[in-house]
Structure 1
Amino acid sequence: MTPTRRGALALLAAGLPAPAPAPPVPVRVVSYNIHAGAGADGVFDLDRQAAALRALRADVIGLQEVDVRWGARSRWLDMARELGGRLGMRASFAPIYRIGGREFGVAVLSGFRVLGTANHRITRLSTQDPGPGRPRPAPAPALAPGFGEVVLRVRDVPLRVFVTHLDHRADPSVRTAQVAETRRIMRRAPGPKILLGDFNAPPSAPELAPLWRELTDADPGGFTYPAREPVERIDFVAVSAGVRVHAAAVAGTLASDHRPVVADLRLER
């Protein structure tokens, strides 16, 4: 029996009313594939993306396709830190690829206190060039990093935020393995959890079906890709037990080649 329940029973035994349950904690989250800073027009413009995110007034943002000193396409910037600084949020970056000093991956931006971070390994089929003078191995599925986890203190509630970018190929076999590994990793994590990401598959895809056994899709009622004239939803906010979806929507910005999903959630105490 929890201390809270013991206290409530003691009050009832004394003839006093039990205290009202604590109200849920509201939190607004966003999932956004930022296309390494380029908009639907193909032009790199980090100010435009920062403005689009600022307008959403999110508490927690999960980003995919984040460059950290990756190359000229993103002006060699640390995009996670740059966006975090412009939004006044803490940035936690989880690289998928690290080649020399160049990194590419996913990130979580948050205005809440960060209690811990992890970069989990899931199956990937990499085609990255290892660099000049190094032989490129034939691509084969292998465990690689880039499934980020950030533990936050949201007011007085601990919250685990996971951010992912699943395989983009038409063949779903790699995504199937990634979903199985995602479920195993998330099941080991206690407490309320949120999964943010570009899944590269629609909600009805068979390879995503196992996710919905434990998570609830915050359906925004619209498509997310491609941004200019979207025809499919491949970007997600999904929540575990202990988290309720109050509302969700797709934001109509063209600051990336995807549109962001924004969800208002309620964390149970």
Structure 2
Amino acid sequence: MRVGRAAVAVIAALLFLGSAGGCTTSPPVPGLIRMMTWNVNTIHFAPQDWAPVVAARAPDVVALQEICSGDAEELRAILERDHGIGYRLVPGPVPTSVDGGRVFASVDCDRRKIGTGAYGQALLTSLEVVPGSTAVVSLPVVGGLDDDEPRAYLATTLRTQDGRDIRVVTTHLSTRGAVRGDQIAVVAEAARASATAVVLGDLNTSPAETSLLAPLLRDFEDVDRAGNRSTSRNQVDGRESEPQGERIDYLFTRGLATVGEPETYPVTSSDHRPLVADLR
């Protein structure tokens, strides 16, 4: 699926340095699996904005949150056409009919406003997707959801070139404190069933909220051991301001080792920074 991946990454960074918010390229290392998680804020940004950021790092797995299924497919096509990077797409729109059949509001992916639509998570990957392994599962919500949005996790099993299976679970959790604990417990349980697994996404939870993160901290390893890499950011008139926001996006592993240090960097195409890690 990918030819000359390191060379593609270098070229992409040189051509699209400005679009990626000034980030420099870190080419993939042979034998490692590069994973990226990124909340792309589909309401305010578009696939052509995200493509240079993804191409500059050329990850093997890209977990995307706040994205429409159509935008994920368009992003996949742009990466292949303009950057020479081939990905398989695993869409994961969040079900809007939950809680006994009640239909909740989501993002209308056609009109970019609140409504119903194929909105939620997605995965792009150069690895093989194990047939029949993909599931989208609704998560607990707060008292009829109120003004929150429906939540779910997307899970699939990916097979590496040497035949090893990795269960990948990505999600975008509620902003509500109490229900986030319940949601994290469900997500952790879904990933815990596999000896080799990754949980990644926008958890809307700070590292200080250890009681909420407990199910993941107990059974998984946080790639950002120091816990000091911010993934959200403040904006003033469209420009990034200091301080750099807080850390609410995570990448947890089970049965995999983190090689080197994870990376975050400022971008101009979302209100979140990507989080990238190399795994063995």
Q: TM-score, normalized by length of structure 2?
A: 0.70
Q: Tell me if structure 1 keeps the 8 A contact 2:206–2:248.
A: yes
- Structure with the bigger RCO (C-alpha within 8 Å, sep 6+) is 1
Q: 1:46 — aligned with what?
A: 47
Q: Indicate yes or no: 2:183 matched with 1:165.
A: no
Q: How does 1:122-201 map to 2 (within 5 A)?
A: 122-125=139-142, 139=146, 146-156=152-162, 157-169=164-176, 172-188=177-193, 190-201=194-205
The 3-state SS of whatever aligns with 1:64 is strand
Q: 1:31 — aligned with what?
A: 37
Q: Flag as ranges the 4+ runs of structure 1 deviating above 6 A.
A: none
Q: Tell me if structure 1 keeps the 8 A contact 2:72–2:91.
A: yes
Partner amino acid for 1:223? S
Partner amino acid for 1:93? P
Total equivalences in the alignment: 214
CA offset digits 1:38-93 (Å, max 9, x no partner): 3xxxxx3421211111111111010000123xxxxxxxxx0111112222211111
2:220 to 208, 215, 223: 215
Q: Indicate yes or no: 2:72 matched with 1:80.
A: yes
The 3-state SS of whatever aligns with 1:123 is coil
Runs of at least 5 residues in structure 2 that lack an aligned partner in the other structure: 1-29, 80-85, 97-102, 104-114, 235-239
- Displacement of 1:138: 7.0
Provide closer, same or farther for how the CA distance between residues 222 and 46 of structure 1 changes in structure 2, counting only shifts above 3 A: same
1:231 to 235, 245, 252: 245
Partner amino acid for 1:252? P
CA RMSD across the alignment: 2.5
Runs of at least 5 residues in structure 1 that lack an aligned partner in the other structure: 1-23, 39-43, 69-77, 127-136
The 3-state SS of whatever aligns with 2:134 is strand
- Displacement of 1:101: 7.3
Q: Tell me if structure 1 keeps the 8 A contact 2:231–2:249.
A: yes
Q: TM-score, normalized by length of structure 1?
A: 0.72
Q: 2:256 — aligned with what?
A: 243
Provide closer, same or farther for how the CA distance between residues 253 and 145 of structure 1 changes in structure 2, counting only shifts above 3 A: closer
Which has the larger Rg?
1
Provide closer, same or farther for how the CA distance between residues 84 and 212 of structure 1 changes in structure 2, counting only shifts above 3 A: same
Q: Tell me if structure 2 keeps the 8 A contact 1:37–1:49.
A: no
